[in-house]
Amino acid sequence: MLRSKKTYLSLLIAACAYLNAVAQRSEILLDEDWKFSKGNFTDAAQTGFNDTRWETVSVPHDWAISGPFDKEIDKQVTAITQNGETRPSEKTGRTGALPYIGEGWYRKKLDIPVLKQGQKVLLQIDGAMSEPRVYLNGKLVGQWNYGYNYFYLDLSNEVKPGQNQLAIHLRNMAKSSRWYPGAGLYRNVHLIIKEEKSIDQWGITVTTPVVNKEFAKLNIKTKLSGNNIRLVTQVLDRSGKQVALDTAKTTFGNEADQNIQLSHPHLWSPESPYLYTAVSSVYEGNVLKDVVKTRFGVRSISYLAGKGFSLNGEVRKFKGVCLHHDLGPLGTAINTAALRRQLTILKEMGCDAIRSSHNMPSPEQLELCDEMGFMFLAESFDEWAKAKVENGYHLYFNTDAEKDIVNLVRATKNHPCIVMWSSGNEVPDQFGAEGVKRAKWLQEIFHREDPTRPVTVGMDQVKATMQSGFGALLDVPGLNYRVHLYADANKAFPQGFILGSETASTVSSRGIYKFPVVKGIDKQYSDFQSSSYDLEYCSWSNLPDDDFVMQDDKPWVIGEFVWTGFDYLGEPTPYDTSWPSRSSYFGISDLAGLPKDRYYLYRSRWNKEKPTLHLLPHWNWEGREGQTTPVFVYTNYESAELFLNGKSLGIRKKDQSSPQNRYRLMWMDVKYEPGTLKVVALDSNGKPVAEEQVVTAGKPHQIVLTADRKEITADGKDLSYVTVSVVDKNGNVCPTADNQLNFEVKGAGKFKAVCNGDATSLESFVKPTMKLFSGKLVVVVQADKKGGTAQLKVTGKSLKGGTLEVLCKPGN
């Protein structure tokens, strides 16, 4: 095939530009060909150590997620004071019953090019669980303690041209967490090679101190290394078009300060998450030395007494959820496709805010929240100086808290999604003067590093914080539960508003319904499940409707963060003394990411763009014929009529008689009979506008597969989540099916994991077999790098099998 001279010239120019860019700054993701072994190897840091028999893994990596589940792992005899317990009891699933405890080693060979005079080599670790000790060519070159934090090391004086041996040692102690922390290099590791005359790592700070429709003032502070250099900043819009250009005119010490005007800016918000890019270029004379790209959003935030929270001048309330950092069957190993799926599910529900609980978020999560439009409450610690668990963060607080906050802020401060920092969650330090001093000290560190955002703490000891002054000093008083104390706290605190920093803690198991249907506190059953009628909660918490009342009726309540958006590994309340429970029941969606009924309760209130009409329970109740089986409807319509086998059971309309009647439609006296249960929503004139139905299903007959994405990228990381369910001969979903299924993936992908959302299941996430739970489970298919079609085949005894193809397309 002949090519024109013009084409060859274009390719040559592109190649030269690429080589020049590499010479300026090169960032290499160290994701493949790591050697890993769990255990204590005293000489594993040395270059001559033989690791040929070690497992070869890709990073991010969680060494514990493959199991097995074991009751004896991290068994604790303790009283959980946060739950109001006064007597110790045996806790067996508190940290997920997975083998995260112990020591692990990661080793990787690094080929370093011959460096030019003054070039720098940095190693950045986004998170390692935990206590990472980093060795290069047998020498300890740096360490950190907090497994949730980001840090980087300057290896410039230690690397040598050619092959280098990188080794990282990790240690996880027993009784070091209140939930499943994961294990290993669970976030990304980066190698950065750059010029000495360059922009410092995390050295760019972008703020928008003036924002209106006509123009925005963009302030960019850039920390630089080297003399006689020039900084040029180019601002690009979403399409890559230049909208501003500025050369830094003033430098104070090593920091350049630029003020740039953007005309008619696009403002960032959850509804319109518009992102700009600042391209910062450093020149020595006419020679380009460094280029750093920073995405940012133009937006303003304020928290004012009498108004509450405003974004871009408009008052709004947070419709948020709390999220732990594990990704269900993937464990804690970060995966962008898994994070995007979580956020997509939440977005459809109407959620607009995330709280990272109770730790520092991953860079990938923040990037997605910027792109997809979620406000973010970035949290730091679950402990200060006083312990919750024997080997928790209190061991490091006095020596590490400041540097951990500094790294959190400097690494993430340019994300427009972050609208608030949290310095702690339910810390025992809430009591007494020492705790007040610690809260003030931490808040001042945040203010020093970032004067543009407020600081909160999730407080559960509300009366104590009212008496001590703890709550009064915070920028934003955050109350965890205690809705009955909201009014008293608002009177006692000077801020003029209250944030529901953690709300509800309603518990449920997807597709499980218990009778009789009544409110229940710490309710337990012999099968270790909780009822999906959404009327069960914990001793310290409440039902969703109670929080809805506060959000709707009290202008000084600025929003809520529900505990939790998804089930997570560990903390199996109310069954934390009951084996084999090993994951939570709090989620609005289950551990597999499948929505529970409660999802539609929140959706009916939060999603203003689409109608919601959801009917529960399922209608397969053999043996309950003639017995009372209440029916609930979650909808944003004000009224609806219920039909059973064509007979009307009456119209219900939302009213103010109780929080539940205000937000739910309930038929409490329905007598079960097999057949078709149908609800018809009515508009304000009483005319039918929508309907939903559930049907009594027959015996399981056929497997049905539905993928969240049928096209994914062939990069060895991208994922398709396939929901597997079973239907009868007529195509009706079988809601109680628990068949054992087997999975096989061929072609351009592989079987990655499986999860059914059952908090009591001890089946492995990584073996290609699992039982359905409440008629469903989710299989995760991972693309390879070759491209092509991946075929998932699912089979089960006496069932017609199902197949599904996923196209794995080469990336750009």
Mean pLDDT of the 733-751 span? 98
Domain 198-296 has CATH 3.40.30.10: no
Helix (H) or strand (E) holding 134: strand 133-136
Contact between 191 and 27 (Cβ < 8 Å):
yes
Cα 769–178–321 angle (5° rounding)? 80
Q: For the purposes of burial, counting CB atoms within 10 Å of the CB of 495, is it exposed (0-12), middle (13-18) or buried (19 or more)? A: buried
Contact between 289 and 280 (Cβ < 8 Å):
no
pLDDT higher than threshold 70 for residue 564: yes
Q: pLDDT at position 653, please?
A: 98
pLDDT tens digits for range 297-356: 999 999 999 899 999 999 999 999 999 999 999 999 999 999 999 999 999 999 999 999
Q: pLDDT at position 89, please?
A: 83
What does CATH list as the number for 702-809? 2.60.40.10
pLDDT tens digits for range 67-117: 999 999 988 888 877 777 778 888 899 999 999 999 999 999 999 999 888
Contact between 158 and 131 (Cβ < 8 Å):
no
Distance CA 469, CA 554 (A): 23
Domain 26-194 has CATH 2.60.120.260: yes
Distance CA 781, CA 80 (A): 38
* Catalytic residue (one of 131, 364, 426, 449): 426
Give the right CATH number for 301-505+540-568 from 3.90.1150.10, 2.60.40.10, 3.20.20.80, 3.40.50.300.
3.20.20.80
pLDDT tens digits for range 623-665: 999 999 999 999 999 999 999 999 999 999 999 999 999 999 9
**Maximum alpha-carbon separation in the chain:** 88
Domains of the chain: which residue ranges?
26-194, 198-296, 301-505+540-568, 613-695, 702-809
Distance CA 11, CA 283 (A): 25
pLDDT higher than threshold 50 for residue 15: no
Helix (H) or strand (E) holding 502: strand 498-504
Q: How confident is the model at residue 812 (pLDDT cuts 50, 70, 90)?
A: low
Q: Which CATH class is domain 613-695?
A: mainly beta
Q: How confident is the model at residue 2 (pLDDT cuts 50, 70, 90)?
A: very low
702-809 shares the fold of 613-695: yes
Q: How confident is the model at residue 10 (pLDDT cuts 50, 70, 90)?
A: very low
Average pLDDT of the chain to the nearest whole number: 95
Q: pLDDT at position 374, please?
A: 98
Q: How confident is the model at residue 707 (pLDDT cuts 50, 70, 90)?
A: very high
* Catalytic residue (one of 195, 364, 502, 560): 502
Q: How confident is the model at residue 4 (pLDDT cuts 50, 70, 90)?
A: very low
Q: Cis omega before residue 580 (within 30°)?
A: yes
Evaluated on CA atoms 704, 710, 716, 719, the torsion sign reads negative
* pTM reported for the whole predicted model: 0.95
Q: pLDDT at position 87, please?
A: 82
pLDDT higher than threshold 50 for residue 1: no
Q: How confident is the model at residue 797 (pLDDT cuts 50, 70, 90)?
A: very high
Active-site annotation holds for 805: no
pLDDT tens digits for range 480-525: 999 999 999 999 999 999 999 999 999 999 999 999 999 999 999 9
pLDDT tens digits for range 519-556: 999 999 999 999 999 999 999 999 999 999 999 999 99
pLDDT tens digits for range 565-593: 999 999 999 999 999 999 999 999 999 99
How many angstroms separate the Cα of 789 from the Cα of each of 706, 747, 773?
Answer: 16, 6, 29
Q: Is 33 left (phi over 0), alpha (psi -120 to 50) or beta?
A: left
In sequence order, what are the residues at sequence separation of 6 or more whose Cβ sits closer than 8 angstroms to the Cβ of residue 383?
389, 392, 393, 394, 397, 424, 427, 428
Contact between 765 and 66 (Cβ < 8 Å):
yes
pLDDT tens digits for range 136-171: 999 999 999 999 999 999 999 999 999 999 999 999
Active-site annotation holds for 214: no
